[in-house]
Amino acid sequence: MTGRTILLVEDNPDDEALTLRAFDKSNIHNKVIVKRDGAEALAYLFPGDGDGDGNGNGNDDAPYPALILLDLNLPKVGGLEVLRRMRADERTQMIPVVVLTSSKLEEDVLVSYRNGANAYVRKPVKFSEFTEAVKALGVFWLLLNEPVPSVAPKLGLR
Amino acid sequence: MFAALLEAVPDAMVCTAADGLVVLVNAQAERLFGYERAELIGQPVQILVPDTARAEHPSHLAMYPADPQHRPMGAGLALAGRRRDASTFPAEISLSAIDTGEGILVAAAIRDVTAQLRMKDLERASESRESFIYAVSHDLRAPLRALSGYSGVLLEDYGGVLGEEGRGYAERIVAVSEQMRDLLDYLMQVSHLARAELHLESVDLGAEAARIVEQIQRREPERRVRFTIQQPVPAWADSGLIRTVLENLLENAWKFTSGQDDASIEFGTAPSEDAAVCCYVRDDGIGFDPAYAGKLFQPFQRLHAARDFPATGTGTGLASVRQIVELHGGRVWAEGAVGVGATFYFTLDGKEST
C-alpha cells in the first residue's frame, strides 16, 4: 500500500507541514510528493512536456500518483488549469483529484466539479478538524476506494 | 403655444437657430445654467458649453441639421454643461430638429446627471469594498489555520514539555483561533449578502421550521422540549437565506432553554398591518433584559457571558437574521424578560411589493 504515492500541490508551507503531519499521525505512510505551484505539478505529471529538456525529469520509473490533493489558488499555473490538463490527457484522466482549498465560493466548487474533480474539501481552520479531514481523505482514497484497474502506467511513458 | 409647451418639459430646453444663436429657452434652463432668459437669447449656444469642448462645438452644430434625427447627443461621451459662473456639470443631452416654417430650430434637452453619476460611484465603491472584505476575510483564514494548527501540534506532540500551564495557554490559542474564524465567516457572509441577488420563490416556512427542529432534536435526543410549529406558513422569500433566519432563531431558542427540564418553543404567525406575513419564534427560556433589546441584532454583541453559555458563539447570528430579513424588505424585533423567555419577530413582504 505504501507504494502508492500521493501528490500534494500546495504553495502554503504551513498547510504543507500540517497536511504531512496529519498523514503521518493517521498512519498513512505513503510517499508524499510536494509540488509548490501548478507549473511544478504539470512538469512532474508530464515530464518532458513542460520543461523542454525531454529527459523525463528522471521520473520515468515513478508510477502516477494514486491520489492528488490540489489547491486552487497556486502561483504560475492555477489548480483549475492543472486539473483541466490532467483530464485532457488519457494518462492522468482517471487519477482521483481532491480539491483542497480555502475557498468556499460556489463558483469554485462548481467549476472544479465541472472540470473533473472527484471531491472538493474546504480546509478547516480548526486543527483537529483539519487533521480529521486529511485522515479521512487518505483512508477513503487510498484504502477504501477501489482504484481504476490499469497496467499501472509509469510517468514518462507515452 | 410652442413656448408654453417648452415650459412644461421637465428638462432644461435650449433652442437654437441655424446660425447657432439661442432663440428660445425655458425656465428650467434658466435655473440649470444660472442665466436670465434675456441674457441667453441671441447669444451663441457655445456659452453653455465648457471651454474644453467649445472649439469643436460649432462644427458639430453645423452638421446636425444635415442629419436631423432625434437622438442623444454624443452617445457614450461624457458631456458637460457650463453655468454662468463658469462651473460645469455632467449632462445628458438629446437633440431634435423642429421645422417652424421659418427655418429649422435645433432643440436641446439638457439634464444634469451629477446625482446619477454620484450614485454610480457610490455603488462601485461599495461593491469593491464588499469584495475587498470578502478577499481579506478569505486570506486571513490561511494564517489562522497555521496558528490553530501549530498550537494543536504543540499540545499533541509537546504536551509533556509544556506542562499544565503551558498546555492551558496553547489551548487558549486554539480556542481564540476558532473564535476569529467565526468572525471571519460572519464578515464573509455579510459581504456576500451585500452583493447577493435574492432568488424569491414561494416557501412554506412552517415546513422549513419543522425540518430544522427535527435536525436540532436529533443532536440532543435526551432533551425534553415541547415544539409547536404552525403549518403551513406560505411566504415569498429566498429559500436558502430564509432557512438561515429560521435556523438562527430556532437554534437560539434551543440554546437558551437548555437549562430547563420542560421547555417549550413555538413557531407561528402574528397578525400584521404592514407586511404580508409576520412570523415569530417564542421560547420560555432564560429571556433577556428588555433594556438591551436594541443591542440584540447588532453584530458581535452578546447579552449572555460566554462563561455562562459556552455555546453562545460570536454574537453574529441575530445580526445575520436582521440583514437577511431587511434584504427581503422586512423588519425584526424582539420581546422578552429575564427568566420568562423571548419572542423574536420578523416580517416579510408579499409577492407584489418585493
Q: Do B149 and A18 touch (CB under 8 A)?
A: yes
Q: Determine which helix (DSSP H) or strand (DSSP E) holds A97, and give its type and residue range.
A: strand A97-101
Each domain of chain A, given as residue ranges in start order, spans 6-144
Chain A, 117 to 146: residues with Cβ < 8 Å from chain B are: 123-128, 130-131
Residues of A with Cβ-Cβ distance to B145 under 8 angstroms: 14-15, 18, 102, 123-125, 127, 130
Q: Which of A144, A132, A118 is nearest to A19 (CA)?
A: A132
Q: Which of A28, A27, A25 is nearest to A69 (CA)?
A: A28
Q: Look at strands A97-101 and A67-70 and give their pairing.
A: parallel
Amino acid identity of residue B276, one-letter, is A
| CATH architecture entry for A6-144 | 3-Layer(aba) Sandwich (3.40)
Q: Locate cell 483541466: which residue?
A: A84
- The ipTM, to two decimals, is 0.77
Four-residue CA torsion sign, B257, B262, B267, B271: negative
Q: Do A127 and B149 touch (CB under 8 A)?
A: yes
Helical residues (DSSP H) of B64-140, grouped into ranges: 114-139
A31 touches chain B (CB under 8 A): no
Instruction: Dump pLDDT digits (tens) for A45-87.
Output: 998 754 444 444 445 556 789 999 999 989 989 999 999 999 9
Q: Locate cell 499501472: which residue?
A: A152
Q: Which of B154, B150, B153 is nearest to B142 (CA)?
A: B150
Provide the shortest C-alpha distance from residue A148 to chain B (in Å): 34
Chain B, 103 to 142: residues with Cβ < 8 Å from chain A are: 138-139, 141-142
Best interface-test mutation with B: which of A25, A122, A127 has the largest number of B CBs within 10 A?
A127
Mean pLDDT computed over A125-148? 91
Q: Do B145 and A130 touch (CB under 8 A)?
A: yes
Residues of B with Cβ-Cβ distance to A131 under 8 angstroms: 152
Q: Locate cell 415546513: which residue?
A: B207
Backbone dihedral angles phi then psi of residue B85, each to the nearest 5 degrees: -85, 15
Chain B, 154 to 173: residues with Cβ < 8 Å from chain A are: 156
Residue B13: its pLDDT value, please?
93
Residue A63: its pLDDT value, please?
79
Taking the model in full, what pTM does it have?
0.63
In whole angstroms, what is the distance from residue B63 CA to residue A155 CA?
71
A25 touches chain B (CB under 8 A): yes
Whether the CB-CB separation of B285 and B257 falls below 8 Å is answered with: yes
Provide the shortest C-alpha distance from residue A146 to chain B (in Å): 31
Residue A77: its pLDDT value, please?
92
Q: Determine which helix (DSSP H) or strand (DSSP E) holds B236, and give its type and residue range.
A: strand B234-238
Best interface-test mutation with B: which of A26, A73, A122, A126 has the largest number of B CBs within 10 A?
A126
Which positions of chain B have pLDDT values less than 50?
Answer: 353-354
SS (H, E, C) B12-63: EEEEECCCCEEEEECHHHHHHHCCCHHHHCCCEHHHHCCHHHHCCHHHHHHH
Residue A102: its pLDDT value, please?
86
Provide the shortest C-alpha distance from residue B163 to chain A (in Å): 20
Q: Which of B262, B277, B150, B163 is nearest to B209 (CA)?
A: B277
Instruction: Dump pLDDT digits (tens) for A2-17.
Output: 468 999 999 999 999 9
Q: Which of B139, B143, B148 sits opposite A126 (nearest CB)?
A: B148
Q: Do B145 and A25 touch (CB under 8 A)?
A: no
Whether the CB-CB separation of B266 and B228 falls below 8 Å is answered with: yes
Amino acid identity of residue A94, one-letter, is M
Which domains, from first to last, does chain B contain? 2-112 (3.30.450.20), 118-195 (1.10.287), 200-348 (3.30.565.10)
Residues of A with Cβ-Cβ distance to B152 under 8 angstroms: 127-128, 131
Contacts of B53 (CB under 8 A, 6+ apart): B79, B80
What angle (nearest 5°) sits at the alpha carbon of residue B196, between those of residues B177 and B113? 125
Q: Do A131 and B152 touch (CB under 8 A)?
A: yes
In whole angstroms, what is the distance from residue B284 CA to residue B282 CA?
7
Mean pLDDT computed over A29-35? 94
What are the C-alpha distances in Å from A1 to residues A132, A138, B95?
20, 12, 80
Q: Which of B138, B139, B148 sits opposite A127 (nearest CB)?
A: B148
Residue B314: its pLDDT value, please?
62
Residue A58: its pLDDT value, please?
46
Provide the shortest C-alpha distance from residue B143 to chain A (in Å): 8
Residues of A with Cβ-Cβ distance to B144 under 8 angstroms: 125
Half-sphere exposure of B236 (CA within 13 A, CB side): 10
A14 touches chain B (CB under 8 A): yes
In whole angstroms, what is the distance from residue B173 CA to residue B147 CA?
8
Amino acid identity of residue B180, one-letter, is M
Q: Locate cell 453562545: which residue?
A: B312
Whether the CB-CB separation of B347 and B272 falls below 8 Å is answered with: yes
Q: Which of A14, A102, A103 sits opposite B149 (nearest CB)?
A: A14
A2 touches chain B (CB under 8 A): no
DSSP state of B233: -
Residue A54: its pLDDT value, please?
44
Instruction: Dump pLDDT digits (tens) for B286-327.
Output: 998 888 887 888 876 666 655 555 555 667 788 889 989 998
